[in-house]
Amino acid sequence: MPEAEARGRLSPGGGNGGEARGPKPAQRRHHQDHQGGGEQLGGADERAGGKQVLDRQLCSPPVSSQLPDGVNISKEARSAISRAASVFVLYATSCANNFAMKGKRKTLNASDVLSAMEEMEFQRFVTPLKEALEAYRREQKGKKEASEQKKKDKDKKTDSEEQDKSRDEDNDEDEERLEEEEQNEEEEVDN
Amino acid sequence: MADVVVGKDKCAEQRLISLPLSRIRVIMKSSPEVSSINQEALVLTAKATELFVQCLATYSYRHGSGKEKKVLTYSDLANTAQESETFQFLADILPKKILASKYLKMLKEEKREEDEENDNDNESDHDEAES
């Protein structure tokens, strides 16, 4: 008889070890509205619907570049890694949110995320994250200065304006999208 | 490992190309009590997730038995979740596989224990009602 798979939602109760890290499978749906903090991991996963899986992008550069050459990743493993990543995001967000609330802030910021990493015992991430943050801030600053410079140029030179526009539209699109998202967030907070 | 990761980010555009920010934002927002998320926080979370995935994969591979066949398998990941303290939070979503027959047996035993408890409760209720 082939080995039947009994995993995922059907995880054996013994795996918990008594620790309430995540709600038991049968109770997941009912508890998701009542419990806060870490126990939301299971319920919130389902609420994010099919979108919780960060599948395809996850397993190309980030993973295979780290494994030795010629190593493959089974299909099941890929799907498991996606799920693990989603859980990680939720866990990190919940943790970071605790820090934000301690600081009486409603918006999660970079330092909250860094504190969350330490709390979750992923201190090894802190340094590379800080470096990435610096790089990101430099890039943002560069973009801002560049677009401000362009605005000044536009006023002066209306002839070359159209040439620049088509080239920059691609770059600006991302920025606008990001800005829009931020505005949406603010609106939500007001509501 | 940290050096390799940063080294790969040769130019700013490559920094987060592997993970979609919008998707990560959706997941973050699904967490209760989170009202809004700073753009930097989003970027950092995405980066951290990338690091996490690399970490999980390499650890699982090195400690797993898939090594012989040069493949990373589900069991490698499940073992990591069960045995490593750092990855304990994954224990529920990456359970080890068991035979269906064994699982059905466990279910039956649990049900039997529950029924026994209920019987005991009913008896004590009766006593209270009478007094």
pLDDT band at B19 (very low <50, low <70, confident <90, very high): confident
Could you give the ipTM of this predicted complex?
Answer: 0.72
- Closest Cβ–Cβ partner in B36, B81, B97 for A106: B36
Q: What is the 3-state secondary structure (H, E, C) of B84-99?
A: CCCCHHHCCCCCCCCC
Question: A81, A53, A14: which is closest to B96 by C-alpha?
Answer: A14
Q: How many CB atoms lie within 10 A of CB B16?
A: 21
pLDDT, position A60: 55
For residues B107 and A174, the model is more confident at B107
- Which of A69, A81, A122 to probe by mutation at the B interface, max B CB count within 10 Å? A81
SS3 content of chain B, % helix, strand, coil (to 5): 70, 5, 25
pLDDT, position B17: 57
How many CB pairs (< 8 A) connect A and B?
264
Question: A4, A85, A77: which is closest to B69 by C-alpha?
Answer: A77
- Which of B24, B53, B84, B113 to probe by mutation at the A interface, max A CB count within 10 Å? B53
Alpha-carbon distance B92 to nearest alpha carbon in chain A (angstroms): 7
Q: How many CB atoms lie within 10 A of CB A81?
A: 27
pLDDT, position A58: 57
The mean pLDDT value for B124-131 works out to: 62
Q: Residue A72 half-sphere exposure, CB side, CA atoms within 13 Å?
A: 6
Please answer yes or no on whether A113 and B70 come within 8 Å at the CB atom: no
Please answer yes or no on whether A12 and B93 come within 8 Å at the CB atom: no
Q: How far apart are CA B39 and CA B57, in angstroms?
A: 27
pLDDT band at B7 (very low <50, low <70, confident <90, very high): very low
Q: Which helix (H) or strand (E) holds B52?
A: helix B39-63
Please answer yes or no on whether B74 and A74 come within 8 Å at the CB atom: yes
Tell me the residues of chain B between 87 and 126 that have a Cβ less than 8 Å away from chain A.
Answer: 88-103, 106, 110
Spell out which residues of chain B touch residue A71, defining contact as CB-CB under 8 Å: 61, 70-72
Tell me which residues of chain A have a pLDDT lower than 70. Answer: 1-66, 158-191
| Exposure class string for B20-52: b at 16+ Cβ within 10 A, else e | ebebbbebbbbbbebebbbbbbbbbbbbbbbbb
Q: How far apart are CA A96 and CA A113, in angstroms?
A: 5
- B35-81 confidence digits (pLDDT tens): 899 999 999 999 999 999 999 998 988 888 755 678 888 988 999 99
**Does the global pTM surpass 0.80?**
no
Contacts of residue A111, defined as CB under 8 A and 6 or more positions apart, other chains included, come to A99
pLDDT at residue B20 above 90? no
pLDDT, position A157: 72
Tokens for A59?
């397993």
SS3 of residue B58 by DSSP: helix
Residue B17 has what DSSP assignment? T
